[in-house]
Amino acid sequence: MRVLLLDLLVERSEFGHGGNQEIILPLSDFGDVEVFLLTPQMQTIESGKCAANDGLYFISREDVPKWDEGYEFWKSCVVPMGDNEARFSRIALPFGFDDEQMLDWLNKMDVDAVVCSGSRRNVTMWEDWMEGAASLLRVASTSGSPTLGICFGHQLLCKSLGSEVSRADKMSSGIWEMELNEHGLSDELFVSRRDNGKGPEVVYSHQDHVMTVPGNCILLGSAEHNRVTAVRVLDSNDRFMPAWGVQFHPEAAKHRIERAYEWGHISKEEMLSFQKEHDGAGVLESFADVVRRHMA
């Protein structure tokens, strides 16, 4: 299995590399996983050009001019996961591509899933690198690749498909229940909630909000503080595509949150607001099942 993961939280290792492992863990139940990590927010323009010319371009130290020397994050690593393992390698995202070129590049990567993580950046504070990342999510989600946008990834996916995204006056951090509508209750991403007819309790930490549902998406659920909380992409005939955006953080496992506090990456107030049990793991397991079925 091969996964392309927009890794946008590398500066917070427990929510970055740790969160990536939580995303990949249920996928590893089906065998070894090769993970291509993209960090377009840190790569040089030259590396983006190399990716445009060469296709698969593994980044090296000179491709990351602003990274902390204490963490050689561009190097590949292997993480044991049960009886299998996941190999994480960093590659460059092509710069300057239109959607047709990006789709061609994505097809050459021959991946089984595309995931976009959260970020400390903001869609409402647009940066140049977001153009390529938005194009990748747009072509992945509409071409049939299993796709999952998480928090910032949800906002970027929806923005790329025509949504309005706006910034609230303050952060929304905590665990709240998401209310699933009729479509959400029957959706395969939330299959773990069908027995009780309720939405999942999930972790939120964001200030940007998706305000409108893209024209080619359907709303699956809303939270008290956030109406467009989960969407699913549709094709031109209104058939379901294996692509979702979720405002919450399914990868924020409780032990990751506690370790992030121990390492000083979040405040005690933030840690306490995330202490309640949540059902992020069930959502990631459902997405892994979608990827497996799509491969078959």
Just list the catalytic residues. 151, 249, 251
**Dihedral Cα 165, 277, 267, 172, nearest 10 deg:** 20
CA dist 280 and 102 (Å) reads: 30
CA dist 68 and 11 (Å) reads: 9
CA dist 34 and 5 (Å) reads: 10
The length of the chain in residues reads 296
* β-pairing verdict for 113-116 and 2-6: parallel
**Dihedral Cα 59, 61, 66, 72, nearest 10 deg:** 100
Q: Encoding tokens for residue 17? A: 């590399």
CA dist 78 and 214 (Å) reads: 38
Q: How many CB atoms lie within 10 A of CB 132?
A: 22
